[in-house]
Structure 1
Amino acid sequence: MARSKSSSRWLKEHFSDPYVKRAQAEGWRSRAVFKLEELIERDRLLKPGMVIVDLGAAPGGWSQVARERLGDKGRVIALDILPMQGIGGVEFILGDFREDAVLEQLKQALGGAMVDLVLSDMAPNFSGMTAVDQPRSMHLVELAEEFAAAHLRTGGAFLTKVFQGEGFDDFVRRLRAGYERVSIRKPKASRPRSPEVYALATGKRAGDK
């Protein structure tokens, strides 16, 4: 019964959420687009001609924004463990980013090209137990961090969702060592009760791998 009440409350919140309504009205795939738009606006992160990798892309809201901002030039390569309906001009890889074979597929898609911006909105399936969920979420964050360190060009940027808790401070320290500027932000579209924040690291230092 408790789960049923919780699910009903979530559904009620979801469909009365102004960001959900706005996303539906404007043709976006998820309310998450408004998080990304706020996060990139200050730093003007998206520019025509960029190569962007979107990790944890489904249902595709962030890839939609990236493709629109790039115009006719540049590339968006999206990856997710879940299927995603196609988006014109977005290359999609279906697979688990934790698996070497999938990571290799992503590397092959890049064809040796360096990346200008790595986006990661990845999150595990939550169990409700912090002792289990936090290590799982940090593992995904660290995999995205490693990918960015290896494939971002010097001066490139990395934007990732991260949950505050064990491992968070160490992660931020590593970013500050590898990038010129690191900001921790809580966009307005992020639900207040959620422990999620977004780490934006810009100006990747030369030789950081």
Structure 2
Amino acid sequence: MARLFDKNMLMMTVAVMVGVIVITFFIADIVNQSKIETITEEHVVEIDDINSRNENFTDYFLRGSVTIDSGREVREVGNYYFDFALFWYNTALANMTNASIDKCIENCWSAMAEYQKSYNKFDNSKPYFEEAKIYTDRYDEVLNHYVKFAVSGQNITILRYNASNYLRQIAENLSIGDIENISLLMNRFNETTGLYDEELETYDDLKDGIDTFMYFDPDRNVNKYPE
């Protein structure tokens, strides 16, 4: 009887131990599954956040780039009219014809309109680059460069706007022979043109800098710059 009892106790003890082990593994599996699900959910949230930041960064950067490029193109149209205004002014000086003076004035007005539009586009591009900074820790230097370029674009367009306006007034005074006023306006025109030439160097340097930014890494959130 004692041996039978011991045998039964042993079997019961083994059964209990096996049960405990099974339950322990079952609980551990549940815990591990829960951890895996939690980690998976965290990764999904993190990936969604990264994708969202990348999409927002790209969206704002592209909007800024398109707007700034549009400002550059419109500025070139303004330069076209400005060059023609100078051509007709020099023709008017040589021939003293009202037709040449009128052509000069007409092209000055056209140049001023284009420079005003270009100025506004450069100005409108800046908020997009500022917004893009919110979604990256990596490209602040690049984005600041674009903002500086936009500011320089504003500077050269407003200077050319003023130069076009002075040239228009010079042509108008030429038509009535007001030499004294022409001399005063010509001084302002030359001064403005000199300031334009100085700012144009800054503008071109910034433009060359932009041309060196070849790519953006998909990871916007690493606090380092591409080599």
- TM-score, L = length of structure 1: 0.24
Q: Larger relative CO (CA 8 A, sep 6+): 1 or 2? A: 2
Name the TM-score, length of structure 2 as normaliser: 0.23
Query: Where is the helix percentage greater, Structure 1 or Structure 2?
Result: 2
